[in-house]
Amino acid sequence: MPTAPALNEPYAPSESKGRDHLEALLRHRQLDHTLWGLTPVPVRGSDPIPTRWLVPTGIAPLDARLEGGLPRGHLSEVVGPRSSGRLAVAVSALAGATSRGEAVALIDPLDMFDPVSAAAHHIDFPRMLWVRGEATSSSRVSLSLEYGTLQKSLDRGVKALNIVLQAGGFGLVVLDLGEVATQAIKRLPYTTWLRLQRVIESSDTACVLVGSEPIARSSGGVTVLLAPGSGLPAEASFITARVVRSRAIESDHHVRVPLSAAAC
Amino acid sequence: MFACLYLPPPANSGEARRPARGANLANPTNRTNLTNPTNLTNPTNLSFLSLVQLARDFSPRVETHGALRQAQGAPSVSRGDHVVTLDVSGLGSLIGEPRAIGEELRRAAADAGLRVHVAVAATSTAAILLAHGRAGLTVVAPGDEARAIAPLPIDLLDRLGLSASIAPNAPVAPNAPIAPNLRRWGLKTLGDLAALPSSDLSARLGQAGLRWQKWARGDEMRPLVPAGATEQFEEALDLEWPIEGLEPLSFVLARLLDPLCDRLERRDRGAVALRVTLKLVSSALHERVVELPAPMRDARVLRTLALLDLESNPPSEAIDRVAIAVDVTEGRVLQFGLFARALPADTLATLMARLGALMGADRVGAPALVDTYRPGAFAMAKFDPPRDFTNHQSPIPNPQSLRGSRVLRRFRSPISARVALEHGRPVRVTTDRRGFGGGHVERAEGPWRSSGDWWRASAIDDRRSSIVNRRIPVAPNAPSSSPWNCDEWDVALRDGATYRISHALDSDAWFVEGLVD
């Protein structure tokens, strides 16, 4: 806990010292977030981020690794191979947000979300906006048509994400790119993600991208890397995760966390 | 100073204004023509509207009585009678003495073909009573109201419908006529009622009796409540050159909506429906109605919603004329909570319109569970997040949702698969689908058997045909009315992924339903 500077302390004329003085004063009064906008930049060794600026995933060990949850106002990602639990982590976070009375959104470009299986996480569906793209899982489409449809669905999904983020008012917005081919994602201009980050950086919305490989993460966001699971349904209640931050020294420590409805 | 215009029903055409003798007044269809002033086909309503317009020509403060106003304390005159009260206080410098005002009113009414009773008095109560009680023009000097009213018959209270406002705990039954009770006491005129001791009257008849006595004395009961004119919120623009496309139309809409929303702001009204009428170069009309989820008057929001609607339903030709009309209601007063993030209604409406235009209106909403065990069954509900903190999780139990904490990515069109079995358990899964090559099954869990809708009449024929033609796969979650009968397995393949496969028992076909993630 930093000590509060005395108000009668002589004011230094230099700009840097004056800023330090002001920051210390604001930090003491828990108003330090005003220095960087709505969301403070997490710096290792500094004060912990207030929990109101985080969106817990609802999985206690993972939240502990995330130091509270996914940061608001930033672009984070949950990535991993198939059946690694990436969608379960996202749905768990969505369920936790709805239980706190927040509105959430799921952008589903390929229309693959299954409400019945997600209901096990006690998600409050009336608070969840579901934007469904076109399903492309037909087994009889030609390769060119399939790729064209896929790219179109992806473009629409990103546009829908942009619209939802611009509207504001959502605590958590998830874009599910888990089954979108990596080549299609790479065809998107990289400025796409910069623009999305620009949209949410002054808001209290946490945006999460779900994919098979790292896609994009803002400077204050986190990447949750999920390791391939055993693939056995009997052990499907456990996931192996590693958290990567851009501004923190990250160890290779993996955490194996239980993924159960009770953890939500 | 108030004036009252009373248009009595003509004696020789009572059938035209009053319901015929024996007609059932309880039947709404019999009362509609009398009470709905907007029904212009009825001559009764036409004369009433003429009376109101006449009053508005003299004063902006006009109150209508009768079927239009039955507020507490206001007289609800007999059906078919038309009464209008207006404040003529400011007309003294323009017209002259109260008598001159009354004569001017009567002359204007005669010019309009209306034979009205006119009364001018210091209180609206006295003016209403005198207009009912005396034909022609009656002018009462300030302070002489009680003396002028005193000779009027006590039956007048019944004609004004004051019995409808009787207190519930009064000794007289509600809606019972007043005059017979008072006449039994020997009272014949309003002056007799006014002369009674108020305390004794209150002891016998309660507050209703005091209210009748105030009427009989000509006391002012309440301030005049001016009736607002029905204002139309419409704007139109004839274009010099026809325009095509939505971009130029956006500027036209902005030009029309900005002043329209200013008027809504001034009148404290909000738009609940936006009607856009485009006259095309072929003189055809392209009409669109945008229903709004909440009253709003933000020009940018309304323009966006109109443009998004026209983007989905574009006009077929160039546009010659643009007209916008809005249906209005009272302005919205909204108090947001301190702790809940709220989506304002106008923001939500814009969001849903934008997403609907991009993805399709039927593909945006809130997921909802349905009361069935059919694999993959769900419904789409309107997204309208509740503002309270109550969890609205559906209580419908579904064993599929309790199978594990993993979430399924479901293929809306299940992928046809070939499955090799050993001892009744899948050991190898292959498909023709790119990206789902399949392979050896490392481990399998199941089966979970479910069936349903086989009891429907059409289901028997469907099942028979599917058994006869086994090459036609019957997807377990394709049309919601068709029966299903399948076993589901969760299989882990060598690629590390876990898939959900199903075996349609009737057709002996296998499908990959989804991916457990």
Cα–Cα distance for residue pair A264/A99, rounded to 1 Å = 10
- Structure confidence at residue A15 (pLDDT): 54
Report the b/e string of B81-98 with b at 16+ CB within 10 A. bbbbbbbbeebeeebeeb
- The DSSP H or E segment spanning A93 is helix A86-99
Judge whether residue A169 has pLDDT over 50. yes
- Structure confidence at residue B228 (pLDDT): 66
Considering only CB atoms, which chain B residues are within 8 Å of A261?
405
Output the six-digit token pair for B476: 């377990």
Of B363, B381, B393, nearest to A131 by CB-CB distance is B363
Q: What is the dihedral of CA B106, B110, B115, B121, to 10 degrees?
A: -10
Cα–Cα distance for residue pair B424/B413, rounded to 1 Å = 25
| Nearest residue in B to A103, CA atom | B385
> Is B354 in Cβ contact with A163 (below 8 Å)?
yes
- Structure confidence at residue B230 (pLDDT): 67
Q: Using CB atoms within 10 A of its CB, is residue A168 exposed (0-12), middle (13-18) or buried (19+)?
A: middle
Distances (CA, A) of B215 to B146, B193, B299: 9, 10, 49
Mean pLDDT of A228-251: 59
**8-state DSSP, B197:** -
Q: Which residue has the tokens 């036609």?
A: B472
Q: B238-330 adopts what CATH topology? A: Dna Ligase; domain 1 (3.30.1490)
| Interface mutation vs chain B, best among A137, A158, A210, most B CBs within 10 Å | A137
Output the six-digit token pair for B44: 């009764």
Strands, E assignment, B116-167: 117-121, 137-139
Q: Which residue has the tokens 């509740």?
A: B386
| Interface mutation vs chain B, best among A116, A142, A175, most B CBs within 10 Å | A116
Where residue A14 falls among pLDDT bands split at 50, 70, 90?
A: low
| Nearest residue in A to B412, CA atom | A135
Considering only CB atoms, which chain A residues are within 8 Å of B347?
167-169
Q: What is the pLDDT along chain B (517 residues), one digit of tens a residue?
A: 899 998 887 665 444 444 333 333 333 333 333 334 444 445 566 777 888 888 888 888 888 875 434 433 444 444 456 888 999 888 888 888 899 999 999 999 999 888 899 999 999 889 998 998 888 899 999 888 889 999 999 888 877 766 544 333 444 444 566 778 788 888 889 999 899 998 888 888 888 888 888 888 888 877 887 776 667 889 999 999 999 888 899 999 999 999 999 999 888 888 889 999 999 999 999 999 988 877 888 898 899 889 988 988 889 999 999 999 998 887 776 666 565 556 777 788 888 888 988 888 889 999 998 888 888 888 899 898 887 655 555 444 454 544 556 788 888 888 888 999 998 899 999 888 776 778 889 888 888 888 888 877 665 565 555 544 443 444 444 445 678 888 999 998 888 888 899 998 888 899 998 888 8
Residues 212-231 of A with CB under 8 A from B: 228-231
Q: Which of A9, A37, A3 is nearest to A197 (CA)?
A: A37
Considering only CB atoms, which chain B residues are within 8 Å of A91?
407
- Structure confidence at residue B164 (pLDDT): 44
Cα–Cα distance for residue pair A76/A224, rounded to 1 Å = 8
Considering only CB atoms, which chain B residues are within 8 Å of A164?
351, 355
CB count, 10 Å around CB of B422?
9
SS3 call for B296? strand
Residues A57-95: pLDDT tens digits? 888 888 888 888 899 889 999 998 888 888 999 999 999
- Structure confidence at residue B360 (pLDDT): 85
- Tell me if B330 sits within 8 A of A157, measured CB to CB: no
Of B340, B359, B517, nearest to A86 by CB-CB distance is B517
- Tell me if B243 sits within 8 A of B319, measured CB to CB: yes
The amino acid sitting at B392 is H
Instruction: Tell me the shortest Cα–Cα distance from A241 to chain B, in angstroms.
Output: 14
Pick left, alpha or beta for residue B368 (phi over 0 → left; psi -120 to 50 → alpha; otherwise beta): beta
The side-by-side arrangement of strands in the sheet containing A75-79 is A255-258, A238-245, A222-226, A75-79, A206-211, A170-176, A103-108, A128-132, B364-368, B379-381
Q: Which residue has the tokens 């019999």?
A: B30
Instruction: Tell me the shortest Cα–Cα distance from B360 to chain A, in angstroms.
Output: 9
| CA-CA-CA-CA torsion sign (B165, B170, B175, B181) | negative
Considering only CB atoms, which chain B residues are within 8 Å of A86?
517
Give the bridge partners for B416, in sequence order: B511
Rg (CA), chain A: 20
Q: What are the two backbone dihedrals, phi and then psi, of residue B57, each rounded to the nearest 5 degrees?
A: -65, -20
- Structure confidence at residue A126 (pLDDT): 92
- Structure confidence at residue A262 (pLDDT): 36
- The DSSP H or E segment spanning A200 is helix A191-200
Q: Which of B135, B97, B129, B132 is nearest to B115 (CA)?
A: B135
Give the bridge partners for B488, in sequence order: B448, B502
Domains of chain A: 1-35 (no CATH), 51-263 (3.40.50.300)
Cα–Cα distance for residue pair B234/B250, rounded to 1 Å = 17
Domain boundaries, chain B: 2-217, 238-330, 406-516
- Structure confidence at residue A221 (pLDDT): 85
**8-state DSSP, B133:** H
Q: Which of B297, B320, B321 is nearest to B233 (CA)?
A: B297
> Is B409 in Cβ contact with A137 (below 8 Å)?
no
Alpha helices in B298-439 (DSSP H): 299-312, 345-359
Report the b/e string of B237-246 with b at 16+ CB within 10 A. eeeeeebeee
Cα–Cα distance for residue pair B63/B86, rounded to 1 Å = 6
- Structure confidence at residue A147 (pLDDT): 64
pTM of the model: 0.62
Output the six-digit token pair for B353: 């319109």
> What ipTM was estimated for this complex?
0.77
Q: Using CB atoms within 10 A of its CB, is residue A33 exposed (0-12), middle (13-18) or buried (19+)?
A: middle
CATH homologous superfamily of B2-217: Reverse transcriptase/Diguanylate cyclase domain (3.30.70.270)
- Structure confidence at residue B24 (pLDDT): 34
- Tell me if B131 sits within 8 A of B138, measured CB to CB: yes
- Tell me if A107 sits within 8 A of A173, measured CB to CB: yes
Report the b/e string of A39-71 with b at 16+ CB within 10 A. bbebeeeeeebeeebbbbbbbebbbebbbbbbb
Residues B370-400: pLDDT tens digits? 888 888 888 899 898 887 655 555 444 454 5
